[in-house]
Structure 1
């Protein structure tokens, strides 16, 4: 799948639901009262709404949220502290989005749980004169800007990492593919990039599209793959992200598989980094989130002020509904046990103390994490 291929209402009754679900709007620049005028932009009252598909211990809660808050404050020193709504439930996120329209925000940053489901809401925002910046996942509808990491590169890094870890079994070995949700256009993008590396080199014994990216679904699927193929016949697992990689490792442990076959991941979750140190996961894909959040906030503030974003964008992408969306596509980094210090620790994502629990101390020493 290429950049544009296969990517997958303003009613007040939604407001109470959204508030109950945790909707908070990011107050905007200047000394206004925080209420936007629906696409008015400019002036000293720029209100930005932010919606993320996860919070708390998720990558979006740990990294994206504070980085968005920080950049908004940098670009608008008089703004109140940023507050960001986060939910993994697509229906709740749709309600939150529509409440933002009712409130009359000036611009919305949207990392969609279900990019296709959000199309009517994005269209409603467009009719209300509210630009929408898609973050991480390209929602359908008239999106005004898009920031993400190059998904094909992510998939290639995962595929290349898996082949390296498989060694001699990379020639004709059998793997399981644990892909993301079909409702997320990035999932197909990752899959395509991985297949470009893996096809013709390994046998894909089982391939799953994991509903909602949920680890419990990945666990069920991996348990099924073990039963169907036999644990001894699984030479590697291409897992599209770290949360699912953890579920894959748990399923293999439950089946008493020792040692585990190499497993890939994505997002550089702390638990995944610890698994890499321990040897239960081979690699993860690290996305330097600050570059992405900075570009996203820059786009949002510019659009909210009625300015163009051509100088921020590095190119254009298409969705099934919208052509030539100004976009920023960023590179990613493959992380294995040998370069954790030079990537994640060096960039300040984690400290050695955060990674190296007492149980991992000896493994950290072997990895040079001291």
Structure 2
């Protein structure tokens, strides 16, 4: 990403502002806003995202947050970095942002436990921390989705699909998220609360390092010999791991493909649902989440308390509502909200599937 910063000076005034930018993998930028700041003063705010393997962060979270910050705090400057799944790099990026004068860190932690160090360092410097999407103990505010509910939606939808197909028993495989991601533990807990009592046998289970689709694929391949005869479904924690699982199932000769869950409503996930390769995904409306984070970053930067509706482990929080997406409600969710256009979804390869699903 190229660094670009332009400040216009009125005629007759000689004013300049030098902004130091932070070098790091994934790119960074310092971006000024464009209207009167809600907090009444200018501030530097850092957005620290965790990785790029999940497409949502660069495609949606960053631009939505940047746009919202311009509205909420026009004179604020955005410092941005993506840690590319490296907790040590994220630590360095946070420290650099604070050295540059960031008053608020909007932190989507690579590792929720090690990120407590970032929170403690921030507190020592009087810097506020918003835990964005992934919980970090001791933060000043947390905005995310009800993550156990995400897992419950995945488990419930999977069971409902199996029941509609006349299946009430058989083997399941669970391909969970990263063991360093506190949200992944909540997804897993929510899914287990449904699947453990549904009459199916969880034959194998795996926590996927770094949410890596390749590692999810390798695990699924390693289990096929054992589970293939009685396999009826796979719980995959997000669309990336689902893609790896589905590749393994196809290569292993599983036909028809058993139902596979997902999360994040990635474009490829939506297309796999239309094609019949993936059973469902969970749509989390990222724009309201990013807008909420920007609003509260502006409040905290101005010395005001965050606007919260609940608490999470003693941290003021806002938990948004996730939605299960199957072939039947793509039009009423991701298309209706403008998350994707029909043209983006219905490429030539998926034209017939789109027509069958009523996407025109």
Instruction: State TM-score, norm by structure 1.
Output: 0.86
1:24–1:83 Cα contact (<8 Å) kept: yes
Q: What is the DSSP-based 3-state SS (H/G/I as helix, E as strand, rest coil) of the residue aligned with 2:102?
A: coil
Deviation at 1:159, TM superposition (A): 0.4
**Which residue of structure 1 aligns with residue 16 of structure 2?**
none
Deviation at 1:207, TM superposition (A): 0.8
**Which residue of structure 2 aligns with residue 343 of structure 1?**
333
Deviation at 1:57, TM superposition (A): 7.0
- Which of these residues, 336, 350, 356, is aligned with residue 366 of structure 1? 356
- Which of these residues, 243, 251, 256, is aligned with residue 254 of structure 1? 251
Comparing 52-61 with 294-303, greater Cα deviation is found at 52-61
- Which of these residues, 63, 67, 70, is aligned with residue 70 of structure 1? 67
2:36–2:75 Cα contact (<8 Å) kept: yes
2:42–2:73 Cα contact (<8 Å) kept: no
- Which of these residues, 165, 182, 186, is aligned with residue 185 of structure 1? 182
1:164-198 deviation line (CA, Å, top 9, x unaligned):
22125642221100111121111111111111111
CA distance in 1, matches of 2:53, 2:159: 33
**Which residue of structure 2 aligns with residue 203 of structure 1?**
201
CA distance in 1, matches of 2:168, 2:180: 32
Q: What is the DSSP-based 3-state SS (H/G/I as helix, E as strand, rest coil) of the residue aligned with 1:19?
A: coil
Q: Cα distance 1:260–1:156, how it changes in 2: closer, same or farther (>3 A)?
A: same
Q: Which runs of 4+ in 1 moved over 2 A?
A: 20-32, 41-45, 54-57, 76-80, 167-170
Comparing 334-343 with 251-260, greater Cα deviation is found at 251-260
**Which residue of structure 1 aligns with residue 29 of structure 2?**
24
Q: What is the DSSP-based 3-state SS (H/G/I as helix, E as strand, rest coil) of the residue aligned with 2:113?
A: coil
Say which structure is richer in strand.
2
2:35–2:70 Cα contact (<8 Å) kept: no
Q: Cα distance 1:91–1:23, how it changes in 2: closer, same or farther (>3 A)?
A: farther
Comparing 162-171 with 269-278, greater Cα deviation is found at 162-171
**Which residue of structure 2 aligns with residue 217 of structure 1?**
215
- More RCO (CA 8 Å, sep 6+): 1
Instruction: State TM-score, norm by structure 2.
Output: 0.88
1:253-298 deviation line (CA, Å, top 9, x unaligned):
1112211100000000000000000000000000011111111111
Q: Cα distance 1:236–1:56, how it changes in 2: closer, same or farther (>3 A)?
A: closer
- Which of these residues, 140, 146, 155, is aligned with residue 142 of structure 2? 146
**Which residue of structure 2 aligns with residue 313 of structure 1?**
308
CA distance in 2, matches of 1:28, 1:48: 11
Q: What is the DSSP-based 3-state SS (H/G/I as helix, E as strand, rest coil) of the residue aligned with 2:318?
A: strand
**Which residue of structure 2 aligns with residue 242 of structure 1?**
239
1:108-149 deviation line (CA, Å, top 9, x unaligned):
100011111222122111100000000000123x31000000
**Which residue of structure 2 aligns with residue 137 of structure 1?**
134
**Which residue of structure 1 aligns with residue 105 of structure 2?**
108
- Asked if 1:277 corresponds to 2:293, the answer is no
Deviation at 1:79, TM superposition (A): 4.7
Q: Cα distance 1:57–1:117, how it changes in 2: closer, same or farther (>3 A)?
A: closer
Deviation at 1:251, TM superposition (A): 0.6
CA distance in 1, matches of 2:330, 2:119: 39
Q: What is the DSSP-based 3-state SS (H/G/I as helix, E as strand, rest coil) of the residue aligned with 1:84?
A: strand
CA distance in 2, matches of 1:314, 1:116: 24
Deviation at 1:84, TM superposition (A): 2.6
Please give the residue correspondences for 1:228-239 in structure 2 after superposition, counting only pairs within 5 Å: 228-229=226-227, 231-239=228-236
1:27–1:46 Cα contact (<8 Å) kept: no
Comparing 58-67 with 126-135, greater Cα deviation is found at 58-67
**Which residue of structure 2 aligns with residue 333 of structure 1?**
323
